[in-house]
Amino acid sequence: MSMLNELKVFSGNAHPKLARDVCAYLGIELGQSEAFKFANDNTFVRIGENIRERDVFIIQPTVAPTNDNLMELLIMMDACRRASAGRITAVVSYYGYGRTDKKDQPRVPITARLVADLISTAGADRVLTLDLHAGQIQGFFNIPVDELTAEPILSNYFAEKGLEDLVLVAVDFGISKRARDMAERLGIPVAVIEKRRTGNDDRSETLNVIGDVRGKRALTFDDEILTGGTIVNAANALLDAGVTEVYCCATHPVFSSVAPGLLADSPYSEVVVTDTVPLSEKQNFSNLTVLSVAPLLGEAIRRIHEGRSVGELFQ
């Protein structure tokens, strides 16, 4: 008799707190497993309980150290496949290498596609993720991909704050469509920052603000924050354009070593992110607010497990 109706959630070492929070939402225990490295730097994984014909979800964002966490995810899926799991879903709350989604220079890879192939080959039957850097990454997979968005979580937070004369600002044209969706949720207008990236070193040059922002509060919006340079440049450009106060929101706080200090010293009244990736004490700062995506992920996992619509979560 099939036991696919029994739900099992496991976690790698990338973000065990998120996995525990998801399990708390679902009212189940986190699955028993271990993952560590031998002295020769080889990763070892062992699943500590019977998962034959079970519906298995592995929560593992491929955040820094990206290669280690990606390899751990692949090996965990292989272990589950060889343990005869009924179905394996990779829950990748942050998709590393998502920025390398196209050939924008000669003789460069499309690493986001390579990672998709690796995940499929390792044994994933489907993928659950949040706010991919580029929508076409879904098409890199030959298995089902459910892409969630943190927009409802972020928009509800700012709607409850009741900020007056608010305008949503996309930090570049690439995020403008999502910014329009976010603005519709809040019922506010949209502006865009025009910028030019200057090379492969994560630096960008802000050019100008497109839209009516003078005398208003601005809420900048992006999918992730890495160095913080783009976001801080956007805040300065908005203040120069006559904005009275600036707030920031993003899904993935992929903070580099310089980002927390840069954001803490920035003009932002508040920087709001989610917990798709773990943050250390060193990455925290006074004007940072972190919202949980565990209920969103947990509800999506429940719906996938029960064969119900995930899209209805956003209707």
Q: What is the pLDDT of residues 221-256, one digit of tens each?
A: 999 999 999 899 999 999 999 999 999 999 999 999
The mean pLDDT value of the chain amounts to 93
At 315, the pLDDT band (50, 70, 90 cuts) reads confident
Give me the amino acid identity at 102: K
Looking up tokens 């080889």 gives 42
Return d(Cα 315, Cα 111) in angstroms, integer. Answer: 33
pLDDT of residue 1: 39
How many beta carbons lie within 10 A of that of residue 305, not counting itself? 19
Architecture of the domain whose range is 151-291: 3-Layer(aba) Sandwich (3.40)
* Side-chain half-sphere exposure of 188, counting CA atoms within 13 A: 26
Give CATH 3.40.50.2020 domain extents, the chain.
Answer: 7-149+295-314, 151-291
Residues noted as catalytic: 195
pLDDT digits (tens, 9 = 90+) for 154-172: 999 999 999 999 999 999 8
Q: What percent of the chain has pLDDT over 70?
A: 95
Q: What is the CATH number of domain 7-149+295-314?
A: 3.40.50.2020
Which residues on neighbouring strands pair with residue 167, listed in sequence order?
Answer: 218
Q: What token pair was written down for 113?
A: 């596609």
| CA distance linking residue 140 with residue 119, whole number of Å | 11
